[in-house]
Amino acid sequence: MSGEHDEVRVPQRVSTPLTAPYWEAAEKGNLLVQVCIDCGRLQLYPGAVCRGCWSEHLRWRSVEGSGTVWTTTVAEVPGHPAWRDAVPYCIAIVELDEGPRLLTNIVGCDPYAVGVRQRVRLVRAGDHEPGPPLRFMPC
């Protein structure tokens, strides 16, 4: 992939007062979810209100970072020029042991070998790697 899109840059994270705790923890290799004080629901990604009861009473909670692959696919064509050297790579939805699901990458293995119900654990991406700071790898 070269040509007219080579100047396009990988979208950077947008830290707001709402999301700042999430991104600060992620940069250190930790995963935070929000917990609703009123109904106890855990949610990821950050929101201003609980997606279960619409309460504004939320706080942050650290999670272990282990979970199970819910669904997976392999990207064989890079979605962005910055990822051209990374293909093929695994994209998955992981259900955390605590409940919330998130879209992520599975690294450290053959991307075609990742399967549904496979156990994975959280890892921090390298400082100069494109994409999200947190990813998962097989246990």
Does residue 86 lie in a domain region? yes
CATH number at residue 90: 2.40.50
Does residue 29 lie in a domain region? yes
% of the chain at pLDDT higher than 70: 88
Question: What range does the domain containing 47 cover?
Answer: 20-138
Residue 1 has pLDDT above 50, yes or no: no
Domains contained in the chain, number: 1
What Rg value do the Cα atoms of the chain yield, rounded? 16
Residue 2 has pLDDT above 90, yes or no: no
Does residue 7 lie in a domain region? no
Residues 70-114: tens digit of each pLDDT: 999 999 998 788 788 889 999 999 999 999 999 999 999 999 999
Whole-structure pTM value: 0.84
Residues 36-46: tens digit of each pLDDT: 999 999 999 89
